[in-house]
Amino acid sequence: MLELLSVAIGAGLTPERAIRLVSARAEGPLADEFAAADADIAMLGYTLPEALGNLARRVEVPQVSMFAAAVSLAAEQGSSIGAVIESQAESARGAYFKELEEKANKLPTKMIVPMIFLILPSLFILTFTPLVLTLIDTL
User: Which pLDDT tens digit goes with each residue over 56-70?
Assistant: 999 888 888 888 888
**Residue 125 phi, psi dihedral angles, 5° rounding:** -65, -45
Helical residues (DSSP H) of the chain, grouped into ranges: 2-10, 15-25, 29-42, 48-59, 62-77, 81-110, 112-114, 120-138
* Model-wide pTM > 0.75: no
The fraction of the chain above a pLDDT of 70, given in percent, is 100
Determine contact, residues 101/35, Cβ cutoff 8 Å.
Answer: no
Q: pLDDT digits over 61-115, tens only?
A: 888 888 888 888 888 888 888 888 888 888 888 988 999 999 999 988 888 888 8
Average pLDDT of the chain is: 88
